[in-house]
Amino acid sequence: MTAISLSFSALWREAVYPYLIAFQVIPKIALAPLFTVLFGLGFLSQIAFIIFISFFPVVVATTTGLANANRDAIHLCRALNASTAQTVFLVRLPYAVDYLFSGLKIASTMAIIGVVVGEFISSKSGLAYLILKAASRLEMDLVMAAIIAIVIVGLLLYGAVLAGESIVKKWLGAPS
């Protein structure tokens, strides 16, 4: 929704985009304790942090895709008296699919970083917590095993995004 509103209104984009950029340049690790204070220890603060860290790449990529949709197709929709919603769903969103999934690919890797940071800050379980505990006891084999497990989870998440992209493109009839 944010990307759609940003792609339609230059005024809205000029008003909101600088704040999105400002939030993006803040070091995420510096905000992790704030999420713990706001949402408490545990799963909710980690989910909020993951959403926060993943939001920017998806919004920017999708906004770019929506804003750069085929102008001829948009003009054709207007000439045929298509509603704004029809133009969005029939032209802009299908055109933005590649952009959306590019943002999701970046976000999926950022989400793994968010999980690790969240667990470092406020968790009593999980792989990142295991890394901290094992490192404090100099159990480097356990540290490496946990890192490998995080990499595998990250690759699985990235693979899920790729599979989703393939499914959506087949559904839309677009080339993969």
Q: Which amino acid is at 132?
A: L
Q: 57, 24 in Cβ contact below 8 A? A: no
How far apart, in Å, are the Cα atoms of 143 and each of 108, 126, 167?
22, 12, 36
Whether this prediction's pTM lies above 0.85 is answered by: no
Sign of CA dihedral 149, 50, 157, 112: negative
Domains and CATH numbers, the chain: 2-172 (1.10.3720.10)
Which band of pLDDT confidence, cut at 50, 70 and 90, is reported for residue 82? confident
Q: Which residue has the tokens 């990142």?
A: 128
Mean pLDDT for 30-43 is 81
Q: Is 34 a residue whose pLDDT tops 60?
A: yes
Which band of pLDDT confidence, cut at 50, 70 and 90, is reported for residue 164? very high
The tokens describing 111, both together, are 């989400």
State the distance between the two ends of the chain, measured CA to CA, in whole angstroms. 25
> 84-94: per-residue pLDDT in tens?
888 888 888 88
Q: 119, 43 in Cβ contact below 8 A? A: no
> 102-131: per-residue pLDDT in tens?
999 999 998 998 888 877 777 777 888 889
Q: What is the CA radius of gyration of the chain?
A: 20
Residue from 1, 110, 9 nearest 57 by CA: 110
For the residues of 114-137, what is the DSSP string, one character each? HHHHHHHHH-SSSHHHHHHHHHHT
Q: Is 26 a residue whose pLDDT tops 90?
A: no
Whole-number pLDDT of residue 169: 85
Which band of pLDDT confidence, cut at 50, 70 and 90, is reported for residue 176? low
